[in-house]
Amino acid sequence: MGDGGTTVIWISGASSGIGAALAQSVPFPNARVLSVSRRPPHGGEHVAADLSDPASWPSVVASFEDVLTEPGIDRAMFLHFSGDGWPHGRAVDADPDRYAASVILNGTSGPVLGQRFLIACRRHSVPAALVMCSSPAALGANRGTSHYSAGKAALLTWTEIVRAEEMPHGTTVLAVIPWATDTPMLRDASRQPVDTNPLSGEIGTLIASDAVAQPADVAAQIWRAVVAGAPTSPLHVGLVPPEFQPPDSTVS
C-alpha cells in the first residue's frame, strides 16, 4: 500500500467494542475515519445508519461515492464490525421483527455494502481493503444464537468467496474471527440464562478470570494483517484456541 495520498476508512460498529478500538488505533497518518453507526463515535466523522434497516444503506453507499470522488485518495478501506446478539434464545421464542432485524444486520448488510464498496473503489480506481468481522459462532451450531451464528457464517462464506475471485489490482479482502474478546456483546451473552444461551456460563468464567482478549490488542492484530496485505483469511484473533492457530506461530 502506498503512503503518498490520503487514506479514507469507513468502520461500521465503531461506537463500541472492536470497532471502536480499530477507529482509535488507525496506523495510517492523517487518515480520514468515518464511523458507520446509529450512535456518533467519540471522535471522527459519522455516517448515521442503522444497518439492520436496509432503508439506511443508501446513505452509506452515497458516502462511498461522495468521498471517493474527492482528489488525492490513495486507498480506501471498509471494516465491517457491526453485529447484534439479540434476541437470545430459541428461534421459535423470538420476537419476529427483532429477529428479522438481527438477521439483516448480521448476515445481509455486510455482503450488500461490501459489494457496493468494492464497486465504488473500482469505479474511482482507488485500491480497496475490505475487512469483514465474522465470529466463532459461525463455525458451529450453537443453540440460542441461530440468527447470529447463521448470519456470521454467511458473512464468512461470502468474504472467502469474494477473496478467491479475481479482484482489481491492489484490492485486499479479509475475514476476521475474533475469539473471546471483552466486548459489550460478549458481556451481554455472559449474563443470559444457561437455558437461553448454553455458552453463557463458560463465557462468564472467562470474563471473571480475566481470560479474555482486550479490543485494543485485537485491533492491533487486525491492523497488522491489513498492513501486510492480509496474507491469511480467515484471520483468527483474540483468545484463539490451539486448533485454530497457524502452525509454528503464536497469536500476539
- The bridge status of strand 172-179 relative to strand 128-133 is parallel
**4-8, 41-45, 68-72: which range is least confident on average?**
41-45
Does the pLDDT of residue 4 top 70, yes or no?
no
Does the pLDDT of residue 178 top 80, yes or no?
yes
Where are the alpha helices (H) located in 5-56, listed in sequence order?
17-24
How far apart CA 38 and CA 250 sit, in angstroms, is 36
In sequence order, what are the beta bridge partners of 16? none
- pLDDT on residue 105: 95
What is the percent of the chain where pLDDT is above 70? 90
CATH number for domain 6-181+214-239, candidates 3.40.50.720, 3.40.640.10, 3.10.129.10, 3.40.50.1450: 3.40.50.720
For the chain, what is the mean pLDDT? Answer: 89
- pLDDT on residue 2: 47
Rounded to a whole number of angstroms, the CA Rg of the chain reads 18
Task: Please return the burial class of 7, using the count of CB atoms within 10 Å of its CB with bins 0-12, 13-18 and 19+.
Answer: buried
**What mean pLDDT is predicted for residues 142-158?**
90
**DSSP category for residue 106:** I
Does the pLDDT of residue 222 top 90, yes or no?
yes
**What mean pLDDT is predicted for residues 99-121?**
96
**What mean pLDDT is predicted for residues 156-164?**
97
Ordered by start, the domain boundaries in the chain are 6-181+214-239
Query: Could you give the 3-state DSSP secondary structure of residue 222?
Result: helix
Record the pTM.
Answer: 0.91
**What mean pLDDT is predicted for residues 60-85?**
95
- pLDDT on residue 69: 95
**What mean pLDDT is predicted for residues 49-62?**
97
How far apart CA 108 and CA 192 sit, in angstroms, is 26
- pLDDT on residue 123: 95
Check if the beta carbon of residue 116 is closer than 8 Å to that of residue 1: no
